[in-house]
Structures are given as structure tokens and as C-alpha cells.
Amino acid sequence: MVHRHGVLRPGRCVTTTRMSDRFLFWAPTLIWATTWHVILYQLGETAALHSVAMRFGLASVLLFGIARWRGETLLAPRAFHGTLFLTGAVQYGVNYWCTYESEKYLASGLVAVLFSLMMFTNAIGGVLFFGQRITKRFMLSGLLGVLGVALIFWPDIAAAGRSPQVLLGVGLAMTAVVMASLGNMLTLRLTGQGMPLVPLLAWSMGYGALTLLLIAAATSVEFRVDGRASYWLSLLYLSSMGSVAAFILYFKLAQRQGPARASLVGLVIPAIALLVSAALEAWRPDWVSGCGIALCLFGLWGATRPVAAPEPERSA
């Protein structure tokens, strides 16, 4: 419920078993890796802006339902709504819009490489917003992982230089990365101020859907209905699993381990997505992409390996 002074207090919550950090990392990673393939079924009559708006609009409705079932308040203090709107606008609105726009000028592989840099923007955000520390080992391991992602998509990167508008595409993709990181920081700040995660995501995804609809209206994007069953089934999967489940688990991980470590999912998602592509599509790995996958996993291992405690000094 909402206290009369505007401070959030948790409502009646359903008792749940504490999930391990390992589960919180790998579950959203595997979900988001499969969404790369599922998004293919979204390409058709309906414009991307409207498809993503419906994705987050439906996700918002589902999240409000979950919050209601958990006994959490569906209301938020009036003072929070400005931050909630900003969170939704940057994380689920501008971020996704710039990502789709960047792929008009860049191959999706290069966009994936640029998004793997989010671990560094999240690390910087963790320092600026929460005073968290960045270790040299984390940064070096992250660089190895980014190099691995680059090797996986090397043909796309090599071809990017031939595009006359590559700088525009890179600029749009990096804008998306910064917006996603800013959304991460705002979400974690709101949870730190006492707002429960599920209602927070419900409001921010709803505001993100509204932002996308406003962008579509401002850019005169026509709305068309796609009648394929595959379109609506994929939309349901992207809303329920790719948005509701994955973002809840991802932000729970970020709450425990910080935004930088949570964003390491971006090093592994491309590798798993290509394995899905190899199984369901025509993509076939070669030795370069194999080395890239190995580097991604090695970078992840290095960034998440526990720091050894210093040995106690022996008395003479």
C-alpha cells in the first residue's frame, strides 16, 4: 500500500523460494537468446514501432495482473510518475526505436557487438548512481567478451564499412545502449526508494508503449494488422517471456549483484542466439565464430570469478 506521506510500503506478497544468482543470470539469457529467432515472425504487415508498442503494452497488463495476484499495490505516489515515465520512455521506448532504426543502416551482428558494450555503460552508471567499484579484472574480462562477440559477427563488421550511412547506424545503436543503461539505473534507483519491482515494471513498460505510439504518430507510421497466427503467438511469447519474465529476473539479478555484472548477459546472448539459429535456420558456424563463442565464455568466467580473499599474515 502507499503510506500517506508518499513512501511505498510492500503489500501482502506471496511467499516464494529464493532463486539462485545462477538461475537469475541464465534464465533471462536463454529467454532473450531465443527472442532473436522469435522476432523474425514479427516481420510482416505491422510496423516495428506498433509491434513493440503492443509487446510492452501487453507486458504491462500482465505485470499489473501479477502484482495484483501477489497482493502488491498497483498505485504509485504521484511524485514517482515522472521518473516512471522517463524510465519507460528511455528503456522501452527510445531504446527499442533506435535499435530498430539502427538496423536499417547496420547488420544486426554489428548492433549486437555494440550492445555488448552495455556492460561498460552499466558499470559507469553503477559508479555514478550507486558508488559501486569497477575492478580491472572485470574490465579486461569484459573486453575479451566483447572481442568474442565481434569475432562471432566478423563478416557483418567487415561489411559495415561499405555502408555510406554506417556512422548514422552506429550513432543510433549507441544511443540505444545509453538509453538502456539509463533505464537500468532509473529502475534500480526506484526500487531502492521502496517501489516494488513488478508494479514498477508494469508502469514503466506501459509508459514505454505509450512513447512508441507517440513516436509512430509523430513519424506518420501507418498501423496495419497482421493476420498470421505466427505473428500473434510470437507477440505473446515476446510479451510474456521476453518482457515480463526476463526483465523481472534480470532486475532481480541487478539488485543483488549490481548493473554491471547483470549486463554480462549481453556477452552470452549472441552466442546462444546463433546456436538457436544453427538449429532452426541456415546459419552454420566456422572456426572464427567458434573462437568468438569461446572468448565470450572465457570473458564471462573471468568477470564473474570470485575474488580470492587475501591470506592472513602469519605472526612471527
8 forms beta bridges with: 2
**Among 237, 186, 266, which Cα is nearest to 59's?**
237
User: CA dist 255 to 112, 126, 208, 234, 246, Å?
Assistant: 24, 11, 21, 29, 14
199, 76 contact by CB (below 8 A): yes
For the segment 67-103, what is each residue's pLDDT rounded down to a tens digit? 999 999 888 888 899 999 999 999 999 999 998 888 7
First to last CA, the chain: 60
Once rounded to an integer, what is the mean pLDDT over residues 151-163? Answer: 72
**Among 51, 311, 85, which Cα is nearest to 208's?**
85
Neighbours of 145 (CB within 10 A): 27
90, 179 contact by CB (below 8 A): yes
Once rounded to an integer, what is the mean pLDDT over residues 31-44? Answer: 86
* pLDDT for position 1: 35
For the segment 207-218, what is each residue's pLDDT rounded down to a tens digit? 999 999 999 999
How many percent of the chain have pLDDT more than 70?
Answer: 86
29, 254 contact by CB (below 8 A): no
Which residue, chain included where needed, has cell 569461446?
294
Cell representation of residue 216: 509512430
CA atoms of 200 and 88, how far apart (whole Å):
10
Taking only Cα atoms into account, the Rg of the chain, rounded to an integer number of angstroms, comes to 20
CA atoms of 146 and 138, how far apart (whole Å):
12
* pLDDT for position 202: 97
* pLDDT for position 296: 82
pLDDT at 258 over 50: yes
Once rounded to an integer, what is the mean pLDDT over residues 252-258? Answer: 93
Once rounded to an integer, what is the mean pLDDT over residues 142-150? Answer: 85
* pLDDT for position 161: 62
* pLDDT for position 101: 87
Q: Side chain identity at 193, as an amino acid letter? A: Q
* pLDDT for position 146: 86
pLDDT confidence tier of residue 313, bands split at 50, 70 and 90: very low
pLDDT confidence tier of residue 283, bands split at 50, 70 and 90: low
How many percent of the chain have pLDDT more than 90?
Answer: 45
Give the distance from CA 100 to its chain's centroid: 14
pLDDT confidence tier of residue 252, bands split at 50, 70 and 90: very high
* pLDDT for position 56: 97
pLDDT confidence tier of residue 10, bands split at 50, 70 and 90: very low
Range with the poorest average pLDDT among 249-258, 271-280, 289-298, 305-314: 305-314
CA atoms of 233 and 56, how far apart (whole Å):
15
CA atoms of 206 and 61, how far apart (whole Å):
8
Which residue, chain included where needed, has cell 506518420?
220
Output the pTM of the full model.
0.84
2 forms beta bridges with: 8
Instruction: Give the angle 200-246-146 at the CA atoms, nearest 5°.
Output: 115
